Amino acid sequence: MVSRRVARGWRTYYPFTTGEFIREYLLENGEGYIYEIWNAFRKTLRDMGFEWWGSYDSFRKYFDYLQKLNLIRFVREEDSEQPWMARRRYFELVPENVDVIEAWTSPQVILYPATVYGKRRYRMKKLEAEMMGISVEELALLEHPEILEVRRRLGIT
């Protein structure tokens, strides 16, 4: 499904990012609901010898990011197998944004540019931005024009 290569980004130990996995899953299957995709993600990592894959809630949060970036869209909803469970919400890829790889690998950075600094550097960059009379998000976009370019390609202002 996903090629074995070193992931871009600083927080993953997997050979792919979570966003890349979701993209590949939806490319292969057309649509899917979050829990189904999370189970495939866990199975893939387990088969590769990983013993930890994060929580379902953080995986679900990725779908919020991907929707805000217009990389995926809600398709339909159906009842789950158990009446007490939440309804299944199916998602599919937005075809015109499938190839915006940078957004799939780092959706948080594209949505919230200041996160590019990480926790340690954020405070220093915030002070630097205040001295310049701009926000830390504006500083991140000045220092990382590639983020601004991806945001333009996705139609995010």
Give the whole-angstrom CA distance, residue 25 versus residue 69.
18
The pLDDT mean for the chain works out to 89
pLDDT at position 86 is: 85
Q: Give, for 32, the enclosing helix (H) or strand (E).
A: strand 31-33
Q: pLDDT tens, 22-48? A: 999 999 999 999 999 999 999 999 999
Residue ranges covered by each domain of the chain: 13-99, 112-157
* Topology at the third CATH level for domain 13-99: Arc Repressor Mutant, subunit A (1.10.10)
Give the whole-angstrom CA distance, residue 23 versus residue 71.
9
Judge whether 94 and 103 are in contact, CB under 8 Å: no
Q: What is the DSSP string of 87-110?
A: PEEEEEE-GGGTT-HHHHH-HHHH
pTM as predicted: 0.85
Q: pLDDT tens, 106-137? A: 999 999 999 999 888 999 999 999 999 999 99
